Every structure is written in C-alpha cells, then in structure tokens.
Amino acid sequence: MKFDQRADSNPIDRLKVVGRAQDRIDGPLKVTGRAKYAYERHEAVPGQLYGYILGSGIACGRITDMALDDARRASGVVDVISTLDYEPVPLSDYNTANLFGGDEIQHYHQAIALVVAETFEQARAAAHLIRVDYNRTEGQFDLAAAAPSAPLYTNGEDDTGENRYGDFEGAYAASPVQLDAHYSTPDETHAMMEPHTTLAHWEGDTVTLWTSNQMIAWSKAALAKSLQMPAENIRLDSPFLGGGFGAKLFVRADAIVAALAAKKVGRPVKVTFQRPLVANNTTHRPATIQHIRLGADRDGRLLAIGHESISGDLPGGSPETAVNQTESFYAAENRLTAMRLAVLNLPEGNAMRAPGEAPGLMALEVAMDEMAEKLGMDPVDFRILNDTQVDPMKPDREYSERHMIECLRRGAREFGWDKRHTEPASQVEGDWLVGMGMAGGFRNNMLMKSGARVRLGPDGVVTVETDMTDIGTGSYTIIAQTAAEMMGLPLDRVKVELGDSDYPASAGSGGQWGAANSTAGTYAACVKLREQVAQKFGLDPAEADFTDGQVRQGKQSFALQGAAEDGELVAEDAIEYGDFGDKYLQSTFAGHFVQVSVNRFTGVTRIDRMLAVCDAGRILNPKSARSQVIGAMTMGAGAALTEELAVDTRFGLFINHDLASYEVPVHADIPHQEVIFLDEVDSASTPMKAKGVGELGLCGVGAAIANAIYNATGIRVRDYPLTLDKYLDRLPEVA
C-alpha cells in the first residue's frame, strides 16, 4: 500500500478498540513464566550445549598466543573455538567493532574464545583456564583529551561537517543578549534486564537462531554477510525480548559465536553475555562535550542558535548526533550545528534510547533556561515565544502537526507552575530546598516500510504474522487492536505472531518508529483481507462495514467467518511511503515538568513529582503508551542523577560494568509520575494517524531535573550526572 497523501477517514477512526486502554495480551504469559525468551527455549531443539565467552583482557593490541588445552580437557567441555582459528567475520553496515575472528583487539572484552560444555557452570569454569598472551599497544580512551584535535564529522564528499542557515557568527555577535556555555554527558549503558542471548542450531546448510534481537530483517541480512551464506538459509526467531533500548538493534558476538560453535560441534549451542560484556562488548551511548551559543534580542526572540558536539567512537564509527533537535526545535533565522568525532578505543558507541536527542536536549534545554534567566523571562514563556511551525532550516517545509505550545501551557497549568519560586534557593521546607524545573521534549517521527500477513480462519479468528518484535513495549497488543478494529472483531478473536524471520519484514523495534509503522503495515494487510472478504460475499469493499463479527452493506449482512468456510483467507501487504514522508517535517513534542527537593545539609536530591505532556499523534493504547513514557522518564532520572560508565583511561574499559556499580533508578527513587497525551492526530504520518512516543518520554527529562535542582539550590551544574561531588561544597549556607 502506497501512503502518498494525508489519510482520510478510515475504519481506525471508529476507535472501538484502537485508542482505548487495553491490557497487554502477552501479560499473562509473562507473569506465569510462559513467555519464551531466547535463553529459555529449552523446547526448541534437543541436546543443547552451553557456551561461555571469554572477553579480551586488553583494549588495544594483538593476541600472540592462546593456550586452550587445559580448557579442552576440563570436565564436561565439548570444544573450544578460538578467534585465532577464524578470519574476522565480514561486518554489515550496522556494525563497527569486530565481532569475532583474527588476532587484532579493538576494545576491551572483545570476544576471543567460546567454551562449549554440557552445563553453563562447566563452560564458565573452563573459560577461566584459558591463558592468553597479548602484545598491548597504546590507545586513546579519554574524550576530553582527544576533543581538541577531533575533526568535523562528514558523511560524503558534499558534506562540510557544518549545517548552516543564515549568518550565525554575524547574528550572534550582534545579539544584545548572549549565552555561551559548555555541557557534558557521560558514557551510558543500556542496562536492560535480559542480556544478549542466542541459541543456534544447524540442519544441513540452514541455521536457526533463537535470539534476543530488535530488528529481525536487518539482522538476518547482517548474519548472511557475516556467516557468508544465503539469507534464505537463515531463520531468526525472537518473540519476546527482556528489554533492548537500542543495544539489540544489530547483530552482536553472541549470535556469531553461537552459530560458529554449533556448526563445528554439530549440536545446538546457547550463549548469553555475562553482565560485564553487556557494557564492554556490545554498544553504549557515547559521552559528549557540547558547546551551545544562543543570541537573542531583549524581547526574548532568538536571533542565533549554535550547537556543536564532540563524541568518540572506534575507527569507522559515527558520532552521537546530539545536535539533531537543535536544527528544528526553535525558531531563529541564523543557525549553526556541527559534530566532531574523535577516534577512541573504547567499546563501540551506537544507538541507545533516543540517540541524539536524549543527550542533546540535556544540554540545549539547560541552555534555554539559562538564556531565559538572562532575559528575565519565565522559561515556559521563553520557549513559547520561540516556537516555530516550519522547519527553521527549510522554511518552505511545514511541520505536519506541531502542538508544542499546548504541551507547555497544559503542563504548566496541570503542574502548578505558577507556584514556582522564581528566585533560586528561596523555597525552604524543613531540611529541604525545593525547586521546580521544566524542559521541552523533541523527537523526530520516522516512516519506514513495514509488512504483515493476516489470515482469516474458518473459526473466525484473525491471525497476524509479522517479524515485528516486542521488547516489552506492547507490540502484540497494538497490532491486535489494529486488526480487531479493521476486521470488526473483539480483541480476543485476534492472534498475533511476532519475531519470526519467516514472516513479512516489518519496521522492527527501534527509534520510536515501531508502533506507528508496524500497525500501519497491519492496516495495509487488513485492507487486502477486507477486499477478499467483500468479494466472497459480493459486496463493495469500499462500502462494506465490518462490525461485531459481521460484514454489512445496505440490508445485507454476513458472518465474517463465513468468508473462510471453504478455507482460510490470506492477505499480505506492506505500508510504503515513497517521497511523501519528506514533504512535511514530522516530529513529536513534550513538555516535561519536575519538582525536586535537595537536602540543605547533605545535598541529597529527591525527585518529588514528574509530569510529561506529550504530542505524538493518535495514541493507540493509552495504557501501554503511558507505561512507555513513565519508563522513559525513569531512565531520564537515571541519566540526570546517577548513570555514568566510569572509564579507566589507563586501560580502556568501563570499570562499573555490572548492575551493582552502574546505578540505575530503583522504585524508591521515583515518585508519582503523571502523563497527559494531547488528543491530536497526524494524518500525514500513517493511516493510523499515529506517531511514536516511547523515546519522547526521555527527551528533555534530564534537563528538567537539572533545571529544578538549579531552582532549588541556585547552583548550575552543566556536567552530567549531577552527583554530590559537583555541587556539595556550593550549597547555600545554613543559618
């Protein structure tokens, strides 16, 4: 189905099932332990062996020798595969770091061997018997040290590395009010509950991988390249994931070594990363150093916006795109954005929930608050004044829908912003300094081709098949809602099968694009199924009404399941956008409001209240959407206050590579969270008129917390996370 114009009225607009708060249909499976995660696929194939990965003990250099004999002789060991026995596997465009093979070490904890044994404990014990000799070489592990010489990042010959509109330098220099500030965000790890896991099994020349992966179609193609075999001989199955946040967008070493080992030993092999390898072997959110310059007239209108960011990655990698939102978020006739990329020998930097906007807004939205203070303006009013309804870099291109002002006004009203003390450090309640902060949220909406297959059985049950994944986000439910709405059925008459590469390729889960696109693909397939049903009954598909298990037109009425009485009906289609997606700037928006209390004596910060007002098109399932947003807000609290991968700049590793020392928020850290969704649809997005919301909930939260801490204490901290050591000695004196 081609989507090349704004959506007209369609069956989804009835909102009998879509748009209503629905319990997740996969919930009972999860709470009873019947959901099938990759490491628990005990029933999938008999004779499974356990693999344990040995990670490199250095960050840069080469392996000169690896002694495997003791490990091979250990109890229960079936075999050991060594990186020295393989050439480096070919990488897809989605990977930077070597996944396995060869003697070169590119980063700490790179997979260099896999012990395969009858039990996990035997494999783990034997792995510690491997002795490795290295030739260590010097590496660069310190972003601050590498930043001064980091070149502009360019993507192609025509890219100068700078994105400009107007005369930034001239307008900034002439601005009556100026802000020039630097900010930093640290390396972060995804810290999802389920590690990367794969069970691999060969049958002749075909291999099946039961794995934990967000993007099935991408990863099938990547594995075909890495294993140097036809894609049609590879099957991936990933019906449930225990979190991903971007860490499982791409193939990682677990899939490669499991497949190689299973082929060598002739038995199924399952591999899971131990927690330190999740931090050091997979991907992480890279640290940034950001420079923001704002120029405004004395009335508060921005005249110039400049945002430059430096991040690091392995050779051939890409930057953290922290300037993305600044190109489009606020009006100003003169603009400059640029990114610099330093070569670092740390583990690969790549996508983590809301890549770009999450760390970028942690800086931009603090800068906006600082500028509002310079101007003597309320932070909400300052942002409203600088709203734009067009793409500031391409003024001829309008936003498809933008209700940012309503997010801010509604949020301020509901949160009680008018009760905020405008003078920092002026609200004291017992031992606590109390403050309020806010920030804008922004995340672009991405349109991607997504397919599905739907089946109508003689029993009247509709089954949806697509390789879309559910990473804990509620994909099963919103896809079922879509099919139920389209076919006029209750939710319990729809069955959804996900995560199998034998099904039509979907958009996959990532980048906040999954929900809107995968449901649109399901919509397209259901349109075809409706046509088949109508044809069976001799009805006009455009006029037939599918309601309550019946298909009606005029005085005619038929039971839906009757269309399949002679055999199952099957329809398959995909949503495709062509150039239409570029006609408008499509984005999502939020207003984030936070109240904190900071202890006057100890400096301990306590979050008291959080509110997000979101503008993200039609909300398909308010219940699961709220869950997505409050989860993102919680992640934002961690980014603001506690989360930081500590880099050992001598040896090039993340020291706190476990959940004991990498501190994520716990229930006691998170107060009541409120989420409000604006009742606005976007007919330029998809036939569902929906956009993503899961990452929007994170974008801006960190800055709102930082701004609240400033309002409470009068101390401006520009380096995240806002830990005690950065402000304790500057707290207001206690009388």
Q: Which residues are catalytic?
A: 695
CA distances from 189 to 246, 663, 683, 688, 719 (A): 10, 10, 36, 33, 18
Cα angle 119, 124, 126 (rounded to 5 degrees) comes to 95
Amino acid at 446: M
Beta strands in 539-604 (DSSP E): 545-547, 550-553, 556-559, 569-575, 587-599
148 prior amide bond cis, ω within 30: no
The three-class DSSP label of residue 468 is coil
Q: How many CB atoms lie within 10 A of CB 619?
A: 27
Alpha carbons 189 and 90: distance in angstroms, whole number: 26
Exposure string of 64-89, with b = 16+ CB inside 10 Å and e = fewer, is: eebebeebeebebbbbbbbbbeeeeb
Beta strands in 56-128 (DSSP E): 61-67, 77-82, 104-105, 111-117
Please state whether beta strands 77-82 and 111-117 pair in parallel, antiparallel, or not at all (unpaired): antiparallel
Alpha carbons 489 and 464: distance in angstroms, whole number: 13
Choose among 357, 413, 408: nearest CA to 384: 408
Alpha carbons 103 and 90: distance in angstroms, whole number: 15
Alpha carbons 313 and 317: distance in angstroms, whole number: 5
The token pair at 372 is 């509002």
Please state whether beta strands 672-677 and 605-615 pair in parallel, antiparallel, or not at all (unpaired): parallel
Residues near 721 by beta carbon (within 8 Å), at least 6 away in sequence: 186, 639, 640, 641, 642, 643, 644
Alpha carbons 402 and 591: distance in angstroms, whole number: 13
CA distances from 693 to 363, 378, 411, 480, 643 (A): 21, 27, 17, 19, 23
Contact by Cβ (8 Å): 666, 209: no
> Dihedral of CA 187/692/292/406: which sign?
negative
